[in-house]
Structure 1
Amino acid sequence: MIFRPPRIAGWRRRLAPILGLLSAPLAVTAQTAPPLLRDSVVARLAELRRIHTPDGIELLEPVAIDGTTQWVSVRGKHRENPVIVMIHGGPGSPTMPMAWAYQSPWEDFFTVVHYDQRGVGKNAATADTAALTPTLTFNQLVRDAELMVGWVRAKLGVQRVVVMGYSYGTMIGMALAQRRPEWLHAYVGVGQVSGSGDAYLYQRLRMLAQAAGQRDAMRELDSIAPYPRPGAPVSTVLLTRKWARYFNGGWYGKPTFDLLFALPAWAPEYTAADVARQTAATQWTTRTLVGRDGATLPDSLAVPVVVMQGKHDLHTPYEPARAYVERLRAPHKAFITLEWSAHVPMLEEPGQFLQQLLTVVQPLTVRR
């Protein structure tokens, strides 16, 4: 029997590309810091992160993927370690320029790959957005991910990798796991999209606002009722995410993503010009993807599934994510709760996050 995953119906399909909007850092402008100060800080961070082991790998290079150039970072201290391929969210918000803030300890145990999806991040410098716009679909992003993992397998000489999807990237990662299960040790979801998060989010925000006596929140939330609804503008999604952050649902203990958005300014992988271009690239991606068909969530996967979810996450809400994973069929499943995290657990609880990678994910990479 051929399995056909359900489509995200109606408004949910249209909003799916922005469920994780702003989940990874948008760029700040090049004026965030004077150029000489930025150059000095970035040079020191680059040296601090330098891979010195004789069997390590540290690559940053452009790769030709289905008619586009997509920049890739590959970092790890030992080439025999298992490989994690990170698929970023947003859509159009790369994790590559924020990885400097949390990833170095991972590199003792894994080779970690980040790539900027078509037209965004470091790719924006040479991207012809007019030509790329017709190609920017969910299915094309899945195809790009497949080709990128194929490149990684050939470049590093490995048969299988761990695919880690983040926020909107969880949908891409799951679709890839359906398409190429033989290439994966496991699928790992971080900030897992559930397909039913927005309705839950709206009611949860109203409860939190009432309990806190937050009149501005109640007034703004009432102004977009009923939510979610077909044809609602993107501004309604942004408004709910603003209040999600206020109520600890973005980065626990921080009412905004200001710090998250600032991280790319110090990324050794990015030039100041790369940073300056990223905001427009993310906006282009979001405008283009909203309303385009193709995003699906599966009922089953043929690979082990591990979901690492912040308990306070309201960008991709925790409770619907947990319920979705409970329904999902897979040969092995683990749902890991990060107790004091929201939507960026690798930054909020980096030690706990790494511990789970080592105790839950790493054993899945050992062939039995």
Structure 2
Amino acid sequence: MKLFVQTFICALTLTPMAAFPARVEASPNAHAILREFNKVVSSNGIDEAKAIEIGGIRQWITVRGRDRRNPILLVVHGGPAAPDLPNRYLFERPWNDYFTVVEWDQRGAGKTYELNDPEKVAPTMRVARMVQDAEELVTYLRTTYGKKKIFALGHSWGTILGLYLAQRRPDWLYAYIGVGQIINMREAEQIAYDWVLSTARKAGDADAEKELEAIAPYPESNGALPLEKMNVERKWSVHYGALTFGRQSYNFWENAEKISPDYSETDFKAIDAGSAFSLPKLLLDMASTDFTKLTRLDCPLLIFAGRYDYTTPSQPVQRWFERVEAPSKRWIWFENSAHMIYAEEPGRVLVHLVQDALPLAAAAGDVAP
């Protein structure tokens, strides 16, 4: 593959640009091109996108895999209200060889935000309600697709919902997979703040140091996580690579959304609207998240952790992981990643899903031959 890329770049360099007159004109069709490229065409495959009734409102899901005999992998996205669906084309296509992957735009997020009246949804924006949504969705998936168990993969904020799901319904899961796991939100925010302030000081970054010192104490003495303070901390932690290792911004991910085969321009606007709608309503619940007293999980546990993740720092998660009992558990470091492991090391994510998760379904006969 490396040789192919080098050869292709060389060819572009040596070929007159006049030989590619249609390239600029074709770019507006990127959505359609990618949609066609990613289409599932296998005879036993599944490729669905639909709104279903969950928790009294319409919620958007996609179900995609090249063989419906494979196990279901439910992705519980982060944020809050940051759906993975717009960017899944960047990393998820190979997953479809081994899993039927379900993407879910949660209550208040993305396409689900568009489908409902925000005023009616607003009073329901609580973690407890969204955990119930997850349970209802898993029930729907198990019933509709004839599966006794599925995999649940939570990322960032989604690990809160995912771990509650695993705690409450372990018999429904082959395993729970936590990516950028949150165990104690306030402790994680304290570690992240201390790290970014120290990093800014070491770098001699007077602007960052001034802005970060101005929000002290963060978290506040009563444990509160004011949104305006969180925004300052995130601004500088992203700058110093706590979100994506070696990058100073999130632009690469947001720009990739613009050619998504799964989201329209209207849908993109709903991401921002959903985030502004959801985060203030869920922040109090997020701030009080604390799984440190959870000492037993009755389903297998996998943790994917970025070595440089200071968005959801790993230290509290490691201490919890060492104590928690589970039928099996495994911690996997991603040595070249921060928080966006899917984007940073997509190949290794696939390897560990196939190597460490898939055998749990294979043992039950829930894989394609």
In terms of mean alpha carbon deviation, does 122-131 or 287-296 score higher?
A: 287-296
SS at match of 2:219: coil
Residue by residue over 1:213-240, the C-alpha shift from the partner in whole angstroms, topping out at 9 and shown as x without a partner, is 2222211111111221134521111211
- Alpha-carbon separation, structure 2, partners of 1:69 and 1:354: 31
Corresponding residue number in structure 1 for 2:271: 278
* C-alpha displacement of 1:175: 0.6
217, 228, 237: which one pairs with 1:226?
Answer: 217
* C-alpha displacement of 1:37: 6.6
Q: For residue 236 of structure 1, what is the amino acid of its counterpart?
A: K
* C-alpha displacement of 1:295: 4.3
- Alpha-carbon separation, structure 2, partners of 1:79 and 1:239: 45
Q: Which runs of 5+ in 1 are unaligned?
A: 1-35
Native 8 Å contact 1:191 1:313 kept in 2: yes
Q: Structure 1 residues 184 and 269, CA, compared in 2 at 3 Å: closer, same or farther?
A: same
- Alpha-carbon separation, structure 2, partners of 1:295 and 1:186: 21
Native 8 Å contact 2:151 2:175 kept in 1: yes
The TM-score with structure 1 as length reference comes to 0.87
Native 8 Å contact 1:200 1:320 kept in 2: no
1:144 aligns with 2:140: no
- Alpha-carbon separation, structure 2, partners of 1:144 and 1:39: 36
- Alpha-carbon separation, structure 2, partners of 1:124 and 1:157: 29
Matches within 5 A, 1:202-221: 202-221=193-212
1:359 aligns with 2:355: yes
142, 160, 179: which one pairs with 1:153?
Answer: 142
**Alpha carbon RMSD of aligned pairs, Å?**
1.7
Residue by residue over 1:28-64, the C-alpha shift from the partner in whole angstroms, topping out at 9 and shown as x without a partner, is xxxxxxxx97751000001110111101110001111
Corresponding residue number in structure 2 for 1:191: 180
SS at match of 2:151: strand
- Alpha-carbon separation, structure 2, partners of 1:198 and 1:63: 35
Matches within 5 A, 1:62-141: 62-141=51-130
* C-alpha displacement of 1:291: 2.1
Residue by residue over 1:221-275, the C-alpha shift from the partner in whole angstroms, topping out at 9 and shown as x without a partner, is 1111122113452111121122211221111111011122233322222221111
* C-alpha displacement of 1:347: 0.8
Corresponding residue number in structure 1 for 2:11: none
- Alpha-carbon separation, structure 1, partners of 2:251 and 2:295: 36
Identity %: 33
- Alpha-carbon separation, structure 2, partners of 1:147 and 1:268: 27
In terms of mean alpha carbon deviation, does 211-220 or 75-84 score higher?
A: 211-220
The TM-score with structure 2 as length reference comes to 0.86
Corresponding residue number in structure 2 for 1:60: 49
Corresponding residue number in structure 2 for 1:17: none
Corresponding residue number in structure 2 for 1:5: none
SS at match of 2:337: coil
Native 8 Å contact 1:175 1:296 kept in 2: no
1:200 aligns with 2:191: yes
Q: Structure 1 residues 198 and 296, CA, compared in 2 at 3 Å: closer, same or farther?
A: closer
- Alpha-carbon separation, structure 1, partners of 2:204 and 2:219: 23
Native 8 Å contact 2:59 2:115 kept in 1: no
1:340 aligns with 2:329: no
Corresponding residue number in structure 2 for 1:9: none
What is the count of residue pairs matched by the alignment? 333
In terms of mean alpha carbon deviation, does 283-292 or 226-235 score higher?
A: 226-235
Q: Which runs of 5+ in 2 are unaligned?
A: 1-24, 365-369
252, 261, 276: which one pairs with 1:259?
Answer: 252
SS at match of 1:291: helix
Q: For residue 81 of structure 2, what is the amino acid of its counterpart?
A: G
134, 154, 157: which one pairs with 1:165?
Answer: 154
Corresponding residue number in structure 1 for 2:305: 309
